[in-house]
A and B are shown apart, each in its own frame.
Chain A
């Protein structure tokens, strides 16, 4: 396992993009390394093998199970997030040595809604974000702070303020780099956020 690596298991669609960006930002801003199924890979690697490899390498996992609606076209729910949560919890119990303990944060819209559709996860760290980026930042920040007390974790208010500031500057950044309304690989998004955070923190005493 790689210390400080955090597996982010969540929807990647437009409706969820605010929370996804907030999770990614918070993990980076708290000094951890975000990983997810969108990261660069060997084209020959099977998707499931890639996910299992990432899970194996990550001691920490953030799993959002809020997407329970039926797909508008097929009238079926998406099972990928609960499936990957199951792999992560399974790995936490099976992988040796147990001293390299994995920790899980489960996010949903409501604190106790999981009891209605995935009650077996009772006993994990479960928080709600209500579809709100600020609440997602708070839940993730608090969990990361408790996961590694040795790190100096920024306050929730600082993170919320920085995220808002960063998001405001992103259209201008995208225009400068020639990216407006284009696909952005996850690996680049991570580098852009990391670069912004680093620059912002050097200005810290001016704020």
Chain B
């Protein structure tokens, strides 16, 4: 007897969580603010890259 494959819609798998909710609207941050907040992250990346 020929087997048929039953496919059901699977729910979306867990995905990373983000510390914000993306919305529409106008910008709230300047380039300077973004650049300054990026500094510690880049420093950490540098440290990790050298390890």
Contacts and interface: CB of A to CB of B under 8 A. Distances in A.
Interface of A: 12, 14-21, 37-41, 66, 68-69, 109-110, 113, 130-133, 165, 167, 169-177, 179-189, 191-192, 195-196, 199-200, 203, 206-207
B36 to A, nearest CB: 8
Interface string B24-37: 11111101011111
A169 B35 contact: no
B1 interface: no
Contacts of A188: 27-29, 34
Interface of B: 7, 9-29, 31, 33-38, 40-42, 44-46, 49-50
Nearest to A172: B41
Given A130-B13, A170-B18, A191-B29, A185 B42 contact: no
Contacts of B36: 176
